[in-house]
A and B are shown apart, each in its own frame.
Chain A
Amino acid sequence: EAGVAQSPRYKIIEKRQSVAFWCNPISGHATLYWYQQILGQGPKLLIQFQNNGVVDDSQLPKDRFSAERLKGVDSTLKIQPAKLEDSAVYLCASRRFKLLAGDTDTQYFGPGTRLTVL
């Protein structure tokens, strides 16, 4: 079973520029999460999708961040304009909505996109 795919793996931009990250979840996983992990901190949830609907975006800075999940599969996270404090690793994770027998109740994480804002 292929894991969660993310691209790009690394991105360096200047402040006030825009950037977009892409995520392809594990096949059949209806729930998709975007997390922000600042150096030395644990992942912080930005947005959670159930299929293509938003379940929780309470911690998404909506003045600059946006996310979409068209067709309930791939997702993109965009930052416009970027600030210095947005430097972090952006992690995408997915989870099966209804667990099957033998499933582990966990989110599966991708490798992340490391963003540096100069």
Chain B
Amino acid sequence: QKEVEQDPGPLSVPEGAIVSLNCTYSNSAFQYFMWYRQYSRKGPELLMYTYSSGNKEDGRFTAQVDKSSKYISLFIRDSQPSDSATYLCAGKTSYDKVIFGPGTSLSVIP
């Protein structure tokens, strides 16, 4: 079993839709959880960083962590064509080891 799993998509939604991206993990040593966005031919960039279970909101983005079920979600409200990218979820241990999921490809259609 891979440590971090995501549905690879591709996911295609109309502009303005609410997007839900999901991720599961198996490594109980993860203490921090991140969502990275990766545009084509670019390196990943951090979108959201969370430490505990619960919700964290930043503008149109909400990250949700449920440690009891080892489930992580990212919600994007009012999606825009500029949100079209691959979204990588990742877990990090207390000793700074980051494990990435395979990513979900998202297309937002104008």
Give the interface of A toward B (CB within 8 A). 4, 31, 40-45, 48, 56, 91, 93, 104-107, 109-112, 114
Could you tell me the distance in whole angstroms from the C-beta of A55 to the nearest C-beta in chain B? 8
Complex: how many Å from CA A111 to CA B88?
16
**16 more CB-based (< 8 A) A-B contacts, given A48-B96, A109-B44:** A4-B43, A40-B8, A40-B102, A40-B103, A41-B103, A42-B4, A42-B101, A45-B97, A45-B98, A91-B44, A104-B46, A105-B49, A106-B49, A107-B46, A111-B42, A111-B43
Could you tell me the distance in whole angstroms from the C-beta of B46 to the nearest C-beta in chain A? 4
Contact-residue size bin, chain B (C-beta under 8 Å from the other chain): 20 to 34
The A/B interface has a contact count, at CB < 8 Å, of: 45
Contacts of B32 in A (CB 8 A): 105
B43 lies within 8 A of A106 (CB): no
A93 lies within 8 A of B43 (CB): yes
Asked if A42 meets B43 with Cβ closer than 8 Å, knowing A56-B97, A104-B49, A106-B49, the reply is: no
Complex: how many Å from CA A107 to CA B46?
8
Helix, strand, loop or mixed for chain A's interface? loop
Asked if A43 meets B44 with Cβ closer than 8 Å, knowing A106-B49, A107-B98, the reply is: yes
A42 lies within 8 A of B90 (CB): yes
Complex: how many Å from CA A107 to CA B43?
11
Asked if A109 meets B90 with Cβ closer than 8 Å, knowing A40-B102, A42-B100, A45-B98, the reply is: no
Complex: how many Å from CA A114 to CA B42?
10
A110 lies within 8 A of B43 (CB): yes
Asked if A42 meets B103 with Cβ closer than 8 Å, knowing A106-B34, A107-B98, the reply is: yes
State which residues 42-84 of B face A: CB under 8 Å.
42-46, 49
Name, among A44, A45, A105, A114, the residue most crowded by chain B CB atoms within 10 Å (CB to CB): A105
Could you tell me the distance in whole angstroms from the C-beta of B6 to the nearest C-beta in chain A? 8
Contacts of B96 in A (CB 8 A): 31, 48
A42 lies within 8 A of B88 (CB): yes
Name, among A40, A41, A93, A107, the residue most crowded by chain B CB atoms within 10 Å (CB to CB): A107
Name, among A42, A56, A110, the residue most crowded by chain B CB atoms within 10 Å (CB to CB): A42
Could you tell me the distance in whole angstroms from the C-beta of B77 to the nearest C-beta in chain A? 22
